[in-house]
Structures are given as C-alpha cells and as structure tokens.
Amino acid sequence: MTEDARVLKRRHLVFYLEVYDDDTGELLGHVADITTKGIKMVSHEPTPVGRTFRLRMILPEEYFDDHVLRFEAKSLWSANDINPDFYDTGFEVPNLDVAARKTILKLIAEIGFNDNE
C-alpha cells in the first residue's frame, strides 16, 4: 500500500505494546502505530514479508479487563527504522472481527496521542 492509498490516519500510542507470534510464542516487536486496517511494528529483527501471522498483542492492564488481543495480520513490508538497530514492519489487518475492532478503537481513544500529522 502506498502513502497515497492510505485511507485511515495512523495513530501513535503512548505505550509500545508487545506483539507476539501467537503460533510460536516469540516476541516479534512492539506496536509503533495502529489503525483498524493495519499496524506498524518496530523490532530488533526483520520480519518476513508476505506472510500472514496470528498475532497476540498485550494490552495495558489499566485500560482493559482482557489483557490480550488476538488477530491475523499480513506483513506487507519491512525496512530499517530511522534507528539502524531496529526494523519497521507494516502489517495489513484485513479481517478484524467486531470485538477486535472495538478494542483497537478503544486503544486509540484511551492511549493514542494527537500527533497532528
């Protein structure tokens, strides 16, 4: 997806939430920004591109009774972060169920910040 194709404004969060591969239990990285259509994750290692992952995101206890959000996401791109010690990966989240969508919208409302991009 190109920048011109972006429909939803990316929202940065106050916390870098942990993201795990739900199949392996491996910590993949941390959420850098999020919408109901996708996430950008920052990690120490590059993430394979073109692969669909079952992801598990750990939610902040202060805001959510259920501290885990599970969803599928497809990695579209991965590149060096502005800090060369890290990698950024863009994920598309095409099939969010209603509950997951509501959780992401609450995340944005509760711990997002107004970045005025």
Both tokens of 57, joined, read: 């995101």
State residue 29's pLDDT score. Answer: 95
In the 3-class helix/strand/coil scheme, how is the chain assigned residue by residue? CCHHHCCCCCEEECCCCEEEECCCCCEEEEEEEECCCEEEEEECCCCCCCCEEEEEEECCCCCCCCCEEEEEEEEEEEEECCCCCCEEEEEECCCCCHHHHHHHHHHHHHHECCCCC
What is the predicted pLDDT for the residue at 92?
97
* Residue-level pLDDT at 14: 42
What is the Rg, in whole angstroms, of the alpha carbon atoms belonging to the chain?
13
The CATH topology of domain 3-111 is: Thrombin, subunit H (2.40.10)
Q: Does 57 score more than 80 pLDDT?
A: yes
- For the chain, give the mean pLDDT: 84
pLDDT (0 to 100) of residue 5: 44
pLDDT tens for each residue of 17-53: 899 999 999 999 999 888 899 999 999 999 999 999 9
**Where are the chain's structural domains?**
3-111
* Lowest mean pLDDT segment, chosen from 68-72, 93-97, 102-106, 112-116: 112-116
Confidence of residue 113 (pLDDT cuts 50, 70, 90): low
